[in-house]
A and B are shown apart, each in its own frame.
Chain A
Amino acid sequence: MKNWIKIEFPGTSVNVGFARAAIAHFAAQLDITLDELEDIKVAVSEAVSNCVVHGYREKSGNVVVEASYEGPRLEIIVEDFGHGIPDIATAQETGYTTLPEERMGLGLTFMGECMDELRLYSEVNVGTKVVMVKNIPERQLG
């Protein structure tokens, strides 16, 4: 079976928890373990937080989160239309952050650890799109 959702909201911190919970509820339609759900919550929380903190630093705009599954493949896309990332490879290094006073540079590392696939697309002053996939294996009952 195939299913999908798409939500759009202002890129403000108060919506991070909403996005995390909404995507977890959608993912719960699959035969998913609590560990897998926690991984998804961490990944979504990190991705949406980045839109708010980095994408919309000193400006405002919307975040779009899409989730879909077909068979065991759950795909989550988080997109902003903000500052963009000049150097994606550097941004993905563990511990790299452009806000060292307050942040740890672990968000992209967490997304990579919690999901099976992670792809970043970004253009400066256009925005950033994170595509994440988690494979939810079919489980035998009993």
Chain B
Amino acid sequence: MVRFSIDVIGQALVAALDGDLDLHTCPQLKDALERTLEGHPHVKHLVLDVKDLTFIDSSGLGVILGRYRAVQARGGKLFFVKANPHIQRVLRLSGMHRIAGFVDSTKEALERV
């Protein structure tokens, strides 16, 4: 199961993720992120708080990368907040560390956008 909350703060979409993000749970997140991006054309940046994310695989990464492409087209950036070592390893394996910033707080992400 995955739970998430989504806020728009200035030009950033801030999403806090909780639980396992896999083939079964990622469509929910995908729909919610897409709807928020469509409803807020001024939003340029994606800030994902993954402190409580307990699992991610390539299905979950696909959803994040797809939404990154959308914000990238708006000139925005992607940040992961509080990625634990396991999540970091999967993000690294996928090359995500080359396109995203890793920070310790949402505040830090918002300062860096």
Q: Could you list which residues of chain A lie within 8 angstroms of chain B, going by C-beta atoms?
A: 13-14, 16-17, 20, 34-35, 38, 41-42, 45-46, 49, 52-53, 102-104, 106-107, 109-110, 113
Contact = CB atoms under 8 A, between A and B. Distances in A.
B101 to A, nearest CB: 20
Given A106-B93, A106-B94, A42 B24 contact: no
B22 A113 contact: no
A107 B58 contact: yes
Given A38-B89, A104-B94, A45 B65 contact: no
Nearest to A103: B62
Q: Which 6 pairs across A and B sit closest by C-beta, in order of nearness?
A: A13-B24, A106-B58, A49-B23, A45-B57, A38-B86, A13-B23
B23 A109 contact: no
A64 to B, nearest CB: 18
By secondary structure, the B interface counts as helix
Contacts of B24: 13-14, 16-17
Contact of B62 (A13, A14, A41, A104): A104
Interface of B: 1, 20, 22-25, 55, 57-59, 61-62, 65-66, 85-86, 89-90, 93-94
B94 A45 contact: no
A46 B57 contact: yes
A45 B21 CA distance: 11
B3 to A, nearest CB: 14
Given A45-B57, A109-B93, A53 B86 contact: no
Given A17-B24, A20-B55, A53-B23, A106 B86 contact: no
A18 B22 CA distance: 11
Contacts of A42: 57, 90
